[in-house]
């Protein structure tokens, strides 16, 4: 499987590995040649090549830098990433946890930023869920370095599984609020969270699907424009249990491909030897946009608004599926 077209790839060496929290592995990746690595900005991610059942695939991980400034993100000597083990995932996190050792050489893509820290000068409000803390930790460090007002809410099931809590306490002090379901006895109260936002805040959110969906639903209930929230999903959306199989017809080549319940259209296209563009595989970046000529789209992306979904003929095949037995794609 290819990384996104035209994206530069690099060889790096795993120079350090640690477990900063239960189920989380942190890896430091160093340039193989000793040359500085490409510059990145807060919110950026890299693609990492993983090998699953003899096949190459790519996973995206946000870059962490808590000692922001002094050249730490401009021509850095290494990149730091953290990976939560997903027992029910497709194997990428297991590869990162179990197959990689210190000293291994791996391929990565150069940093890319689809989730930049907005530069409005207003207070930055960061909402992190679980391992979604990684891009936000770098943003928090950047805000502190630049003297920008910042507040962070970091939510998770329990402290033992939440990476970077101590480091963020040191960095942010009272600007950090930690919520754990275990201590409170319930998930974070989304309405109370919204009540903490100032109307002018630059709000950045990164977390799992349930957190993001709950926040987007509350924003809609309050008639907030989607653009007011800058967000990133940290994991591929889980397949719905009721997913079913369907066929896609590729209009150009007049080919029909079967999409089983447990695979995305994008993965089926790649396996069939097509060469689609993609990046996040989470329905966020919009890179895999594909026009549908016929059929009923089951939209599952975070690119289109509800209104756009009602009229759009564009779908994002990394996550979206079909409500009809057949979808005809302009591919």
64 binds ligand FES (CB under 6 A): no
Report the nearest approach of ligand FES to the CB of residue 314 (Å).
11
154 binds ligand FES (CB under 6 A): no
131 binds ligand FES (CB under 6 A): no
**One symbol per residue from 253 to 282: x for binding ligand FES (CB under 6 A), - otherwise; what is it?**
-------------------------xxxx-
Segment 311-330, which members bind ligand FES (CB under 6 A)?
316, 318
- 169 or 226: whose CB is closer to ligand FES? 226
Report the nearest approach of ligand FES to the CB of residue 277 (Å).
8
- Residue from 42, 43, 132, 283 touching ligand FES (CB under 6 A): that is 283
CA–CA gap between residue 59 and residue 75 (Å, rounded): 23
Q: Tell me the DSSP string of 193-229.
A: HHHH--TT-EEEEEE-HHHHHHHHHHHHHTT--GGGE
Report the nearest approach of ligand FES to the CB of residue 115 (Å).
12
β-strand pairing of 124-129 with 150-156: parallel
- Residue from 177, 247, 286, 298 touching ligand FES (CB under 6 A): that is 286
- Residue from 37, 285, 304, 327 touching ligand FES (CB under 6 A): that is 285
Q: Is 267 left (phi over 0), alpha (psi -120 to 50) or beta?
A: alpha
Segment 293-312, which members bind ligand FES (CB under 6 A)?
301
Tell me the chain's radius of gyration from C-alpha atoms. Answer: 20
Stretch that binds ligand FES, among 10-18, 35-43, 138-146, 284-292 (CB under 6 A): 284-292
Report the nearest approach of ligand FES to the CB of residue 32 (Å).
28
Report the nearest approach of ligand FES to the CB of residue 104 (Å).
27
CA–CA gap between residue 1 and residue 267 (Å, rounded): 9
288 binds ligand FES (CB under 6 A): yes
Report the nearest approach of ligand FES to the CB of residue 302 (Å).
8
- 281 or 299: whose CB is closer to ligand FES? 281
CA–CA gap between residue 222 and residue 82 (Å, rounded): 34
Q: Tell me the DSSP string of 63-130.
A: ---SS-STTSSSS-SEEEEEEE--TTSSSHHHIIIII--TT-EEEEEPPB-SSPPP-SSSPEEEEEEG
Report the nearest approach of ligand FES to the CB of residue 125 (Å).
25
Sheet strands side by side (includes 24-31): 55-62, 45-52, 105-109, 9-21, 24-31, 78-84
Contact 282, 318 (CB under 8 A): yes
234 binds ligand FES (CB under 6 A): no
284 binds ligand FES (CB under 6 A): yes
Sheet strands side by side (includes 255-259): 255-259, 246-250, 326-329, 290-294, 314-315
Residues in touch with ligand FES (CB under 6 A): 278-281, 283-288, 301, 316, 318
């Amino acid at each position: 499987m290819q990384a996104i077209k035209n994206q530069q790839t690099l060889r790096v060496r795993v120079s350090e590995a640690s477990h900063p929290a239960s189920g989380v592995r942190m890896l430091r990746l160093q340039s193989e040649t000793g040359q500085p690595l490409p510059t990145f900005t807060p919110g950026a991610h890299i693609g990492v090549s993983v090998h699953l059942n003899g096949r190459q695939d790519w996973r995206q991980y946000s870059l962490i830098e808590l000692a922001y400034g002094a050249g730490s993100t401009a021509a850095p000597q290494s990149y730091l990433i953290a990976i939560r083990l997903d027992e029910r995932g497709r194997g990428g996190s297991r590869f990162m946890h179990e197959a990689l050792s210190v000293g291994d050489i791996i391929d990565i893509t150069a940093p890319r930023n689809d989730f930049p820290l907005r530069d409005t000068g207003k207070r930055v409000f960061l909402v992190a869920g679980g391992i979604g803390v990684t891009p936000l930790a770098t943003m928090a460090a950047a805000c502190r370095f630049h003297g920008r007002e910042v507040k962070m809410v970091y939510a998770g099931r329990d402290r033992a599984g939440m990476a970077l809590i101590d480091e963020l306490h040191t960095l942010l002090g009272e600007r950090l609020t930690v919520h754990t379901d275990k201590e409170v006895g319930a998930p974070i109260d989304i309405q109370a969270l919204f009540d903490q936002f100032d109307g002018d805040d630059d709000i950045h959110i990164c977390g799992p699907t349930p957190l993001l969906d709950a926040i987007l639903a509350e924003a809609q209930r309050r008639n907030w424009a989607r653009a007011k929230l800058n967000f990133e999903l940290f994991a591929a959306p889980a397949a719905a249990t009721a997913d079913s199989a369907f066929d896609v017809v590729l209009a150009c080549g007049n080919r029909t491909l079967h999409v089983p319940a447990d695979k995305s259209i994008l993965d089926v296209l790649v396996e069939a030897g097509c060469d689609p563009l993609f990046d996040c595989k989470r329905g966020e970046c919009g890179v895999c946009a594909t026009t549908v000529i016929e059929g009923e789209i089951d939209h599952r992306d975070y690119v289109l608004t509800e209104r756009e979904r009602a009229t759009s003929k564009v779908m994002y095949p990394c996550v979206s599926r079909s409500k009809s037995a057949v979808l005809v794609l302009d591919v």
